Amino acid sequence: MARLEDKVAVITGAASGIGLAAARLFAAEGAKVVGTDLQFVDDDTWRDHCGGDALFLRHDVTDEDRWASVIGEAERHGGRIDILLNCAGINGVSGEEAPPQEPDVIGLDIWRRVNRVNAEGTLLGCRAVIPVMREHGGAIVNISSIAAQKGWPMRTAYGASKAAVLQYTRSVARYCAESGWKIRCNAVLPGPIDTPMIKPPGRKPLAGGDGQAGANHVPIKRYGEPLEVARPMLFLASDEASYITGAGLNVDGGIAALTAD
Protein backbone atom coordinates (compact mmCIF):
# COMPACT_ATOMS: atom_id res chain seq x y z
CA MET A 1 0.00 0.00 0.00
CA ALA A 2 1.27 3.48 -0.85
CA ARG A 3 2.40 5.51 2.17
CA LEU A 4 -0.15 8.30 1.58
CA GLU A 5 -3.07 6.29 0.23
CA ASP A 6 -6.36 8.20 0.57
CA LYS A 7 -4.59 11.29 1.97
CA VAL A 8 -5.22 14.81 0.66
CA ALA A 9 -2.17 17.09 0.59
CA VAL A 10 -2.04 20.83 0.02
CA ILE A 11 1.41 21.96 -1.15
CA THR A 12 2.36 25.61 -1.59
CA GLY A 13 5.21 26.71 -3.85
CA ALA A 14 4.39 23.67 -5.95
CA ALA A 15 5.25 25.04 -9.40
CA SER A 16 8.99 24.44 -9.08
CA GLY A 17 11.84 23.35 -6.86
CA ILE A 18 11.17 21.48 -3.63
CA GLY A 19 7.43 22.06 -3.82
CA LEU A 20 7.15 20.44 -7.25
CA ALA A 21 9.38 17.53 -6.23
CA ALA A 22 7.19 16.98 -3.17
CA ALA A 23 3.99 17.18 -5.21
CA ARG A 24 5.21 14.51 -7.62
CA LEU A 25 6.47 12.26 -4.81
CA PHE A 26 3.34 12.60 -2.70
CA ALA A 27 1.16 11.82 -5.72
CA ALA A 28 3.27 8.75 -6.47
CA GLU A 29 2.70 7.63 -2.87
CA GLY A 30 -1.07 7.80 -3.28
CA ALA A 31 -1.99 11.30 -2.14
CA LYS A 32 -4.52 13.50 -3.88
CA VAL A 33 -2.42 16.63 -4.38
CA VAL A 34 -3.65 20.22 -4.39
CA GLY A 35 -0.75 22.39 -5.48
CA THR A 36 -0.62 26.16 -5.20
CA ASP A 37 1.77 28.83 -6.44
CA LEU A 38 1.91 32.37 -7.78
CA GLN A 39 3.43 30.89 -10.91
CA PHE A 40 0.69 29.45 -13.12
CA VAL A 41 0.66 25.77 -14.11
CA ASP A 42 -2.01 24.70 -16.60
CA ASP A 43 -4.31 21.80 -15.75
CA ASP A 44 -2.88 19.34 -18.25
CA THR A 45 0.70 19.93 -17.10
CA TRP A 46 -0.29 19.64 -13.46
CA ARG A 47 -2.13 16.37 -14.04
CA ASP A 48 0.94 15.06 -15.87
CA HIS A 49 2.92 15.85 -12.73
CA CYS A 50 0.49 14.56 -10.13
CA GLY A 51 -2.23 12.44 -11.71
CA GLY A 52 -5.72 12.92 -13.03
CA ASP A 53 -7.31 13.90 -9.70
CA ALA A 54 -4.73 16.60 -8.91
CA LEU A 55 -5.78 20.23 -8.60
CA PHE A 56 -3.69 23.39 -9.07
CA LEU A 57 -4.65 26.80 -7.69
CA ARG A 58 -3.12 30.23 -8.16
CA HIS A 59 -2.17 31.45 -4.71
CA ASP A 60 -0.25 34.27 -3.07
CA VAL A 61 0.62 32.90 0.37
CA THR A 62 0.68 36.43 1.82
CA ASP A 63 -2.98 36.94 0.90
CA GLU A 64 -5.02 36.21 4.03
CA ASP A 65 -8.35 36.01 2.23
CA ARG A 66 -6.98 33.74 -0.49
CA TRP A 67 -5.80 31.25 2.12
CA ALA A 68 -9.39 30.78 3.26
CA SER A 69 -10.60 30.13 -0.28
CA VAL A 70 -7.69 27.79 -1.10
CA ILE A 71 -8.35 25.64 1.97
CA GLY A 72 -12.07 25.64 1.14
CA GLU A 73 -11.47 24.61 -2.48
CA ALA A 74 -9.02 21.91 -1.42
CA GLU A 75 -11.43 20.50 1.13
CA ARG A 76 -14.26 20.42 -1.40
CA HIS A 77 -11.99 18.77 -3.96
CA GLY A 78 -10.61 16.10 -1.68
CA GLY A 79 -13.30 15.81 0.96
CA ARG A 80 -10.78 16.59 3.70
CA ILE A 81 -7.21 17.85 4.17
CA ASP A 82 -4.67 15.57 5.81
CA ILE A 83 -1.38 17.27 4.98
CA LEU A 84 -0.11 20.80 4.48
CA LEU A 85 3.36 21.48 3.14
CA ASN A 86 4.36 25.13 3.41
CA CYS A 87 7.00 25.15 0.66
CA ALA A 88 6.54 28.66 -0.76
CA GLY A 89 9.46 30.95 0.03
CA ILE A 90 11.90 33.55 -1.26
CA ASN A 91 15.44 34.57 -0.33
CA GLY A 92 15.26 38.11 -1.67
CA VAL A 93 17.12 37.33 -4.90
CA SER A 94 15.27 37.47 -8.20
CA GLY A 95 17.16 37.11 -11.48
CA GLU A 96 19.91 39.70 -11.51
CA GLU A 97 18.28 41.65 -8.67
CA ALA A 98 19.86 41.00 -5.27
CA PRO A 99 19.07 43.84 -2.86
CA PRO A 100 21.62 44.02 -0.02
CA GLN A 101 20.70 42.35 3.26
CA GLU A 102 23.81 43.14 5.32
CA PRO A 103 22.80 44.45 8.77
CA ASP A 104 24.01 48.01 8.23
CA VAL A 105 22.49 48.56 4.79
CA ILE A 106 19.38 46.38 4.49
CA GLY A 107 16.23 48.23 3.54
CA LEU A 108 12.93 47.71 5.30
CA ASP A 109 11.30 46.86 1.98
CA ILE A 110 13.40 43.71 1.43
CA TRP A 111 13.18 42.75 5.13
CA ARG A 112 9.41 43.01 5.06
CA ARG A 113 9.01 41.25 1.71
CA VAL A 114 11.11 38.22 2.68
CA ASN A 115 9.57 37.90 6.13
CA ARG A 116 6.07 38.37 4.78
CA VAL A 117 6.38 35.50 2.31
CA ASN A 118 8.39 33.11 4.47
CA ALA A 119 7.19 33.73 8.01
CA GLU A 120 3.73 35.23 7.52
CA GLY A 121 2.91 32.85 4.67
CA THR A 122 3.67 29.91 6.96
CA LEU A 123 1.66 31.42 9.80
CA LEU A 124 -1.35 31.97 7.55
CA GLY A 125 -1.16 28.43 6.20
CA CYS A 126 -1.05 26.83 9.64
CA ARG A 127 -3.81 29.09 10.94
CA ALA A 128 -6.06 28.27 8.00
CA VAL A 129 -5.63 24.50 8.05
CA ILE A 130 -5.69 23.73 11.78
CA PRO A 131 -9.50 24.15 12.11
CA VAL A 132 -9.97 21.73 9.19
CA MET A 133 -7.66 19.13 10.75
CA ARG A 134 -8.94 19.30 14.35
CA GLU A 135 -11.49 16.50 14.12
CA HIS A 136 -9.49 13.92 12.17
CA GLY A 137 -5.88 15.00 12.70
CA GLY A 138 -3.20 15.79 10.16
CA ALA A 139 0.40 16.68 9.50
CA ILE A 140 1.97 20.04 8.71
CA VAL A 141 5.51 20.27 7.37
CA ASN A 142 7.15 23.67 7.03
CA ILE A 143 10.34 24.59 5.23
CA SER A 144 12.80 26.41 7.42
CA SER A 145 16.50 26.49 6.46
CA ILE A 146 19.95 25.78 7.81
CA ALA A 147 20.20 29.60 7.74
CA ALA A 148 17.94 29.55 10.81
CA GLN A 149 20.79 28.02 12.82
CA LYS A 150 23.84 29.82 11.45
CA GLY A 151 24.69 33.46 10.88
CA TRP A 152 24.39 34.53 7.23
CA PRO A 153 25.37 38.21 6.96
CA MET A 154 24.62 38.41 3.23
CA ARG A 155 21.00 37.21 3.70
CA THR A 156 19.92 38.49 7.11
CA ALA A 157 16.24 38.83 6.21
CA TYR A 158 16.14 35.29 4.88
CA GLY A 159 17.88 33.80 7.93
CA ALA A 160 15.62 35.67 10.33
CA SER A 161 12.48 34.60 8.47
CA LYS A 162 13.51 30.95 8.51
CA ALA A 163 14.38 31.10 12.22
CA ALA A 164 10.87 32.43 12.75
CA VAL A 165 9.45 29.49 10.79
CA LEU A 166 11.36 27.01 12.96
CA GLN A 167 10.23 28.61 16.21
CA TYR A 168 6.64 28.89 14.97
CA THR A 169 6.69 25.23 13.97
CA ARG A 170 7.58 24.24 17.53
CA SER A 171 4.89 26.50 18.96
CA VAL A 172 2.22 25.07 16.64
CA ALA A 173 3.30 21.53 17.49
CA ARG A 174 3.04 22.14 21.23
CA TYR A 175 -0.26 24.01 20.94
CA CYS A 176 -1.92 21.27 18.91
CA ALA A 177 -0.58 18.48 21.13
CA GLU A 178 -1.63 20.20 24.35
CA SER A 179 -5.05 20.91 22.85
CA GLY A 180 -5.59 17.20 22.31
CA TRP A 181 -5.69 17.43 18.53
CA LYS A 182 -3.89 14.79 16.50
CA ILE A 183 -2.11 17.42 14.42
CA ARG A 184 1.65 17.14 14.11
CA CYS A 185 3.82 20.02 12.93
CA ASN A 186 7.45 19.63 11.90
CA ALA A 187 10.02 21.41 9.76
CA VAL A 188 12.84 20.54 7.43
CA LEU A 189 15.95 22.71 7.31
CA PRO A 190 17.51 22.43 3.85
CA GLY A 191 21.01 23.50 3.00
CA PRO A 192 21.85 24.65 -0.54
CA ILE A 193 19.47 22.84 -2.89
CA ASP A 194 19.69 23.01 -6.68
CA THR A 195 16.53 25.04 -7.27
CA PRO A 196 15.70 28.39 -8.89
CA MET A 197 16.17 30.00 -5.45
CA ILE A 198 19.88 29.15 -5.52
CA LYS A 199 20.31 29.74 -9.25
CA PRO A 200 17.43 31.88 -10.53
CA PRO A 201 16.86 32.06 -14.30
CA GLY A 202 19.23 34.59 -15.79
CA ARG A 203 21.65 34.43 -12.87
CA LYS A 204 25.04 32.74 -12.98
CA PRO A 205 25.85 29.89 -10.55
CA LEU A 206 27.04 31.03 -7.14
CA ALA A 207 30.72 30.92 -8.04
CA GLY A 208 30.54 30.57 -11.81
CA GLY A 209 31.59 27.40 -13.63
CA ASP A 210 29.65 24.16 -13.49
CA GLY A 211 26.42 23.43 -11.69
CA GLN A 212 28.11 22.50 -8.41
CA ALA A 213 30.28 25.60 -8.15
CA GLY A 214 29.93 27.27 -4.78
CA ALA A 215 29.26 24.03 -2.89
CA ASN A 216 32.73 23.66 -1.37
CA HIS A 217 31.44 24.75 2.05
CA VAL A 218 29.14 21.71 2.14
CA PRO A 219 30.80 18.65 3.74
CA ILE A 220 29.25 16.42 1.06
CA LYS A 221 30.69 18.85 -1.56
CA ARG A 222 27.57 19.23 -3.69
CA TYR A 223 24.19 20.88 -3.78
CA GLY A 224 21.23 18.80 -2.73
CA GLU A 225 18.48 17.83 -5.15
CA PRO A 226 14.86 18.86 -4.53
CA LEU A 227 13.85 15.21 -4.20
CA GLU A 228 16.36 14.83 -1.37
CA VAL A 229 14.28 17.32 0.64
CA ALA A 230 10.92 15.98 -0.54
CA ARG A 231 11.70 12.50 0.79
CA PRO A 232 12.21 13.62 4.42
CA MET A 233 9.04 15.70 4.07
CA LEU A 234 7.21 12.56 2.96
CA PHE A 235 8.43 10.75 6.06
CA LEU A 236 7.35 13.58 8.39
CA ALA A 237 3.93 13.80 6.69
CA SER A 238 3.33 10.05 6.81
CA ASP A 239 2.09 7.86 9.65
CA GLU A 240 5.63 6.54 9.98
CA ALA A 241 6.40 9.74 11.89
CA SER A 242 3.35 9.45 14.17
CA TYR A 243 5.41 10.17 17.33
CA ILE A 244 7.35 13.09 15.88
CA THR A 245 6.17 16.66 16.34
CA GLY A 246 7.95 19.95 16.89
CA ALA A 247 11.11 18.66 15.19
CA GLY A 248 13.46 20.47 12.85
CA LEU A 249 15.21 18.01 10.55
CA ASN A 250 18.46 19.18 8.92
CA VAL A 251 18.72 18.22 5.25
CA ASP A 252 21.94 20.07 4.55
CA GLY A 253 24.76 17.78 3.44
CA GLY A 254 26.38 18.08 6.87
CA ILE A 255 26.56 21.88 7.26
CA ALA A 256 25.00 21.80 10.73
CA ALA A 257 27.75 19.43 11.84
CA LEU A 258 30.45 22.03 11.21
CA THR A 259 31.78 23.58 14.41
CA ALA A 260 33.01 26.69 12.63
CA ASP A 261 32.54 28.42 9.30
Residue 106 CB-density burial (10 A; 0-12 exposed, 13-18 middle, 19+ buried): middle
- The percent helix, strand, coil of the chain (3-state, each to 5) is 40, 15, 45
Q: Is 190 helix (H, G, I), strand (E, B) or coil?
A: strand
CA dihedral 129, 25, 6, 179 (to 10 degrees): -30
Q: What are phi and psi of 206, to 5 degrees?
A: -50, -40
User: Would residue 223 show up in a list of annotated catalytic residues for this protein?
Assistant: no
Q: Is 256 helix (H, G, I), strand (E, B) or coil?
A: helix
DSSP class of residue 43 equals H
* Interatomic CA distance for residues 48 and 21, integer angstroms: 13
* Positions marked catalytic: 158
